[in-house]
Amino acid sequence: MDLDDLKQVWAAHGAALERSLAINERLLREAMLRKTRFALAPFLVSRAIEVALGGLAILAVVRVLAAHLGEPRYLIVAGALAVFAVAMTALSTAQLVGGARLDYGGAVTAIQGDVGRLRMLEYRALKWGVLGGTLMWLPAALVLLEAATGADVLARVDLAWLVANLAFGAGVLAAGHAWSRRNVERPDLGPRARWLVDAVTGRSLRAAAAHLAELAAFQRDEPAI
């Protein structure tokens, strides 16, 4: 076998190896993206349930508000609760749409970026749920109880006690939001902020991010093989 024959054999071997690597990479990508879809399924179901429950809550609050349009107490309390319910439902809707519209045919880094944005959306939803809950738990309990029973529950609550609860909740919300904006909701997340986002992010998004990181690591190492 002369040198030209050896070159041809080597070229054929290289082409076969390249095809084998491409096939293996494609199979790995399909497997890891399938795991990512499976991991995100509970996330999408949960967000869909939240949207449905949020819609029902909005209808209940608006019903009570419409029955007491001439009363300032209802306009302030039930009106603020309606705004809060709409905002929380909108956050759940944004997560649902974002998760459903993930482009699994794109680059892995692009998918990772989309999942990262979903994780931050989930963090913000939890933040507003906790902080807003300190402000809105009492109005929510009173208005929803009134929607269920038809009794004028909110009108019978002592106004000073109601205002004190709302003032305390507003203070907690303002302080918590300022802390979050300064320490967590920023492009350059530090180790503690990353730990906090990881801790509050649901299992579905954590698992999806882990699968994508594994796939991205393989693709970074692949050219060196």
User: Which domain covers residue 194, as residue numbers?
Assistant: 3-224
Query: What is the total count of domains within the chain?
Result: 1
How far apart, in whole angstroms, are the C-alpha atoms of residue 81 and residue 8?
A: 75
- Asked if pLDDT for residue 54 goes beyond 70, the answer is yes
| C-alpha span between 74 and 22 (Å, rounded) | 65
Please determine, for residue 14, whether its predicted confidence score (pLDDT) is greater than 80: no
User: Rounded CA gap, 107 and 220, in Å?
Assistant: 12
* Inter-helix orientation angle 108-149/3-67, to 10°: 20
CA–CA separation, 64 vs 66, rounded Å? 5
In this prediction, residue 21 carries a pLDDT of 60
User: Over the stretch 69-97, which tens digit does the pLDDT of each residue have?
Assistant: 888 888 888 999 999 999 999 999 999 99
- Reference 127, options 183, 76, 168; nearest CA is 183
pLDDT, tens digit (0-9, with 9 covering 90-100), for 63-76: 999 988 888 888 88
pLDDT at position 190 is 74
Q: What is the mean pLDDT of the chain?
A: 84
Contact 38, 208 (CB under 8 A): no
The DSSP output letter for 224 is G
pLDDT of residue 221: 46
- Residue-level pLDDT at 222: 41
The pLDDT > 90 percentage for the chain reads 37
Report which of residues 14 and 37 the model is more confident about. 37
Spatial separation of the C-alpha atoms in residues 90 and 65, rounded to whole Å: 20
What is d(CA 92, CA 58) in angstroms, rounded to the nearest whole number? 14
Cα separation, 43 vs 41, whole angstroms: 5
Tokens in use for 120? 């931050």
Cα 85 from Cα 129, distance rounded (Å): 10
222, 111 in Cβ contact below 8 A? no
